Amino acid sequence: MDLHALTIAKAQKLLASGKISSVELTRSLLDRVHQYDDRIGAFITVDDDQALSQAKVADEIIAKGDQAPFTGIPIALKDLLCTQGVKTTCGSKILGNFVPQYDATVVEKLKKENAVLIGKTNLDEFGMGSSTENSAFHLTRNPWNEAYVPGGSSGGSAAAVAARFCCGSLGTDTGGSIRQPASHCGVVGLKPTYGRVSRFGLVSYASSLDQIGPITRDVTDAALMMNLICGNDPKDSTSAKVDVPDFTQALGQFEKNSLKGMKAGIPKEYLGVEGIDPEVVTMFEQATKILESLGVEIVEISLPHTQYVVATYYIIAPCEASSNLARFDGVRYGIRDYSSQDLIEMYKKTKSQGFGPEVQRRILIGTYALSAGYYDAYYGRASQVRTLIMEDFSRAFDQCDFILSPVAPTPAFKIGENTGDPLTMYLSDIFTLSANMAGVPGISVPAGVTAAGLPMGIQMMGKRFDEMSLLRAGFGFERALDNGIDNKTAFPVL
């Protein structure tokens, strides 16, 4: 049996029945990481000893029959999530030596169930990017074709699932960073509603947009991970006090009623966007037909402020980032320049050496846009447009249960292809950014492969706190496609 190919759901069954042990499963995944991750670069930190000792404890718990759903399941974590005693770099030189004293709430939840934490995954520095090329440490390559990017910023987390280095992973999504790499790597990614998952211990990029969510092999696993990570947390004042359903019930709803009665809205502004790849358009049309065949009614909707989404996001996110990143000053965390003669010089040198070019660019944009005299013209104005974007969504949801779109206008691009052109890189976020600005959930589900063999996903965005509809429709779609993406062709080294 290929242990590394197991989904979370299958691993749970095999662990519970005693057919496999968590130590065996963890070893097999670690072996793979050591065999192939030189080529893929999914991880920044892998701690075999910690993972194996967690697996051993998990096996003892399972032997007593006291296990929780994630006991013994190996999970990888984006290196933007604080892990007590384990280096947390955020993909940045400035935190290259940072070892947190506490766990993020989501990490605590995994530990409480005795999950196995297999390692910390690579990312664009502080989550800023769409290709994982902005990591201060190394590139991550797409397991489907190593000449291509895995997407980003959670590219390491998506590549780790696609390359079968873990059963599932956690990523974070500020403007698409879970959904877009999931799409480019042929796996499932879910950005929950803002407030669904505690951000405590997630190093902030843009606090009003950031959310943590699962990246998994299939929709069932996404539901299982949602059951674990969601819920109110007094340590995060933006975390919502709403009930957490059993998300796996969404899957049963599909089995009972197919998708009859559901309405999907297709924004008329989306398919006309400049630069959309014809293969993405064809994939999207086919996906729409599949959903129709399952009983979904397709309606045309309008999100009239779509043309302002990228500009608005790239004011709001850098403004919040410039404020959040001010704390990395060489005094409290991470590296410090010791050659300086005075405090200001030390700040300047530490930041110049510690932050990479994309992060510096965003700090400059954000600081400029927030400065006296400019605030109203930029941040103030962008916040007003954000309200209009939110209103577009509420109006659209009067007509449909979820909004259907491609995840990204193009499949994964070649490594280095867009690095010299930040604007093209920013434009590639066009379909994912609005869910963060409106605070609504979005899921990315594999939907096809290009002629060149690169995966593409479709996105479904739902009403606030209605992840259930996304999981139900996503599960139905996945079933109909019969895992249409042939995962066996992934990662030719297999």
Which one, 8 or 310, has the nearer CB to ligand GLN?
A: 310
Q: Which of 153, 183, 239, 434 is catalytic?
A: 153
By the rule CB under 6 A, 153 interacts with ligand GLN: yes
Amino acid at 375: Y
By the rule CB under 6 A, 312 interacts with ligand GLN: no
CB of 191 to ligand GLN, least distance (A): 8
Q: Is 204 a catalytic residue?
A: no
The answer to whether the beta carbons of residues 487 and 446 sit under 8 Å apart is: no
By the rule CB under 6 A, 459 interacts with ligand GLN: no
Amino acid at 410: T
Q: Which two tokens stand for residue 444?
A: 């990315």
Among 62, 116, 128, 276, binds ligand GLN (CB under 6 A): 128
CB of 320 to ligand GLN, least distance (A): 11
Which one, 89 or 153, has the nearer CB to ligand GLN?
A: 153
Q: What 3-state DSSP class applies to 78?
A: strand
Place of tokens 């895995």: 150
CA dihedral 250, 255, 256, 261 (to 10 degrees): 70
By the rule CB under 6 A, 444 interacts with ligand GLN: no
CB of 318 to ligand GLN, least distance (A): 8
Q: Is 135 a catalytic residue?
A: no
Residue nearest to ligand GLN (CB): 177
Q: Which two tokens stand for residue 454?
A: 């690169």
By the rule CB under 6 A, 157 interacts with ligand GLN: no
Which one, 92 or 174, has the nearer CB to ligand GLN?
A: 174
By the rule CB under 6 A, 434 interacts with ligand GLN: no
Among 100, 127, 265, 366, binds ligand GLN (CB under 6 A): 127
Place of tokens 């070019």: 357
Which one, 10 or 179, has the nearer CB to ligand GLN?
A: 179
By the rule CB under 6 A, 429 interacts with ligand GLN: yes
Q: Is 131 a catalytic residue?
A: no
What does each C-alpha distance from 273 to 91, 428, 440, 482 come to in angstroms? Answer: 32, 10, 22, 30
CB of 176 to ligand GLN, least distance (A): 5
Angle at 36 between CA 34 and CA 40, to 5 degrees: 120
Which one, 11 or 94, has the nearer CB to ligand GLN?
A: 94
Q: Is 240 left (phi over 0), alpha (psi -120 to 50) or beta?
A: beta
Chain centre distance of CA 183:
10
By the rule CB under 6 A, 169 interacts with ligand GLN: no
Write out the E strands in 127-230. 168-173, 188-191, 211-216
**DSSP state letters, 337-361:** --S-SSHHHHHHHHHHHHS-HHHHH
Binding mask 254-293 for ligand GLN (x = CB under 6 A): ----------------------------------------
Closest C-alpha to 253, from 400, 477, 471: 471
Q: What 3-state DSSP class applies to 137?
A: coil
- Counts for the chain of helices (H) and strands (E), in that order: 16, 11
Please count the other Cβ atoms lying within 10 Å of the Cβ belonging to residue 18.
10
Closest C-alpha to 461, from 483, 432, 437, 481: 432
Rounded Cα–Cα distance for residues 262 and 286 (Å): 18
By the rule CB under 6 A, 183 interacts with ligand GLN: no
What does each C-alpha distance from 3 to 15, 28, 31, 165, 220 come to in angstroms? Answer: 11, 7, 11, 10, 18
Q: Which one of the spans 110-118, 123-131, 291-299, 341-349 is the region binding ligand GLN (CB under 6 A)?
A: 123-131
Which one, 47 or 79, has the nearer CB to ligand GLN?
A: 79
Which one, 343 or 364, has the nearer CB to ligand GLN?
A: 364
By the rule CB under 6 A, 442 interacts with ligand GLN: no
Q: Which two tokens stand for residue 144?
A: 């489907």
CB of 126 to ligand GLN, least distance (A): 8
By the rule CB under 6 A, 108 interacts with ligand GLN: no
Place of tokens 């211990």: 201
Among 72, 176, 409, 442, binds ligand GLN (CB under 6 A): 176
Chain centre distance of CA 355:
22
Which one, 105 or 174, has the nearer CB to ligand GLN?
A: 174
By the rule CB under 6 A, 79 interacts with ligand GLN: no
Q: Which two tokens stand for residue 106?
A: 């989501």
Which one, 225 or 310, has the nearer CB to ligand GLN?
A: 310
By the rule CB under 6 A, 175 interacts with ligand GLN: yes
The answer to whether the beta carbons of residues 3 and 26 sit under 8 Å apart is: no
By the rule CB under 6 A, 213 interacts with ligand GLN: no
Which one, 55 or 76, has the nearer CB to ligand GLN?
A: 76
Q: Which two tokens stand for residue 354?
A: 């510690």
Q: Which one of the spans 58-66, 125-133, 327-335, 455-463 is the region binding ligand GLN (CB under 6 A)?
A: 125-133
Among 140, 157, 174, 444, binds ligand GLN (CB under 6 A): 174
Q: Which of 10, 78, 191, 351 is catalytic?
A: 78
By the rule CB under 6 A, 41 interacts with ligand GLN: no
Q: How many residues does the chain have?
A: 494
Q: Which of 177, 183, 405, 469 is catalytic?
A: 177
Rounded Cα–Cα distance for residues 439 and 154 (Å): 19
By the rule CB under 6 A, 317 interacts with ligand GLN: yes
Residues forming contacts to ligand GLN in the complex (CB under 6 A) are 127-130, 153, 173-177, 205, 317, 429
- For the annotated catalytic residues, the residue numbers are 78, 153, 177
